[in-house]
């Protein structure tokens, strides 16, 4: 039977085994999917052992996404842009890397939340790994304007410059005004605001002023559960539409499943089940 894993540290609370088991049963695929915690410094050696044992693929989570990118012999455009990989596939001894986080975010926003990105004004807060994974797929969705704003402004500028420099996105960039702006109250108003900072985890105050929200803006936190609450509660009190990252989690898993199995699983019943505490 084909076997898959999610590898990280910590990984005990990962919902991925449950999500992939549901996908397998909904699509009639036969596979196993388990969690594996690996100690820092042992990722590459453990991966080689697992490949020798016949593992077909794995999801990679914190803190190994950069190492997963470095280990691969083939990298998708999404991986080149993000500088990180969350999906590895093994074929004929070769390691192929992809990054499904950003496309998962875009699908959750457009398909599940019903918010069109094309022609809209989007603010991406943060310039770390989570923001880097999202920016390429957000650009390809064709917003009129995409502003990256981060506490450390130089990191936002570097992330934007890397995306400007990437030839495969020229078509998207010609439609989209891509900017890095300082995080302060002079930000214009946006249709979609995406929090990709780790600020919520620390219980930090929302890093933007209410004037950055268009009426009825979609305010998205890539986290879910208690970590997303502070930012989303603030958004709700401003009259915005809050949305947590649970749908992104399911959609990025669906894209990984598609890469491995060539079958696109239905996501709505899996997300509904998770929202009910499943």
* 155, 157, 166, 273: which one binds ligand ATR (CB under 6 A): 155
> Closest approach of Cβ 48 to ligand ATR, in Å?
25
50 vs 219 by CB, closer to ligand ATR: 219
> Closest approach of Cβ 208 to ligand ATR, in Å?
10
**Is residue 56 among the annotated active site residues?**
no
Rule CB under 6 A: is residue 152 a binding residue for ligand ATR? Answer: yes
Phi/psi-derived region of residue 45, left when phi > 0, alpha when psi is between -120 and 50, beta in every other case: alpha
- Residues 97 and 87: beta-carbon distance below 8 Å: yes
d(CA 255, CA 263): 9
152 vs 211 by CB, closer to ligand ATR: 152
201 vs 272 by CB, closer to ligand ATR: 201
DSSP state of 199: T
x/- site string to ligand ATR, residues 190 to 219, per CB under 6 A? ------xxxx--x-x--x------------
Residues 156-185 that bind ligand ATR (CB under 6 A): none
Could you tell me which stretch among 41-49, 67-75, 127-135, 262-270 binds ligand ATR (CB under 6 A)? Answer: 127-135
- Residues 16 and 6: beta-carbon distance below 8 Å: yes
The residues with which 123 forms a beta bridge, in sequence order, are 147, 193
Could you tell me which stretch among 24-32, 68-76, 146-154, 266-274 binds ligand ATR (CB under 6 A)? Answer: 146-154
By C-alpha distance, which of 199, 244, 200, 182 is closest to 219?
A: 244
* Cis-peptide into 177, omega within 30 deg: no
Encode 89-101: b = buried (16+ Cβ within 10 Å), e = exposed: bbeeeebbbbbbb
Total Cβ atoms within 10 A of residue 71: 17
2 vs 158 by CB, closer to ligand ATR: 158
Rule CB under 6 A: is residue 136 a binding residue for ligand ATR? Answer: no
Rule CB under 6 A: is residue 35 a binding residue for ligand ATR? Answer: no
In Å, how far from its chain's centre is CA 196?
A: 9
Q: Residue numbers of the site for ligand ATR (CB under 6 A)?
A: 126-131, 150-152, 155, 196-199, 202, 204, 207
- Residues forming the active site: 65
């Amino acid at each position: 039977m084909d076997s898959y894993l999610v590898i990280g540290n910590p990984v005990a609370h990962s919902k991925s085994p449950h999500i992939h088991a549901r996908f397998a049963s909904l699509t009639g695929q036969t596979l196993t999917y388990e969690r594996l915690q690996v100690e820092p410094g042992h990722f590459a050696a453990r991966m080689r052992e697992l490949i020798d044992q016949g593992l077909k693929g794995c999801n990679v989570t914190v803190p190994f996404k950069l190492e997963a990118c470095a280990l691969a012999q083939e990298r998708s455009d999404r991986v080149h842009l993000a500088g990180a990989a969350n999906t590895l596939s093994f074929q004929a001894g070769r390691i192929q890397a992809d990054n499904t986080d950003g496309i998962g975010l875009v699908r959750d926003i457009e398909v599940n939340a019903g918010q069109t990105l094309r022609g809209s004004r989007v603010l991406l807060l943060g310039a770390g790994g989570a923001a880097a994974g999202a920016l390429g797929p957000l650009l390809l969705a064709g917003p009129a304007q995409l502003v990256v704003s981060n506490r450390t402004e130089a990191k936002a500028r570097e992330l934007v410059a890397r995306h400007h420099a990437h030839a495969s996105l020229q078509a998207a960039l010609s439609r989209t005004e891509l900017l890095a702006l300082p995080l302060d109250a002079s930000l214009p108003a946006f249709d979609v605001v995406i929090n990709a900072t780790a600020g919520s985890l620390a219980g930090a105050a929302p890093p933007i002023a209410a004037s950055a929200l268009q009426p009825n803006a979609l305010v998205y936190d890539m986290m879910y559960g208690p970590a997303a609450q502070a930012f989303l509660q603030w958004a709700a009190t401003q009259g915005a539409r809050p949305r947590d990252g649970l749908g992104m989690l399911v959609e990025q898993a669906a894209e990984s499943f598609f890469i491995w199995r060539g079958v696109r699983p239905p996501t709505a019943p899996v997300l509904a089940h998770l929202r009910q505490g499943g």
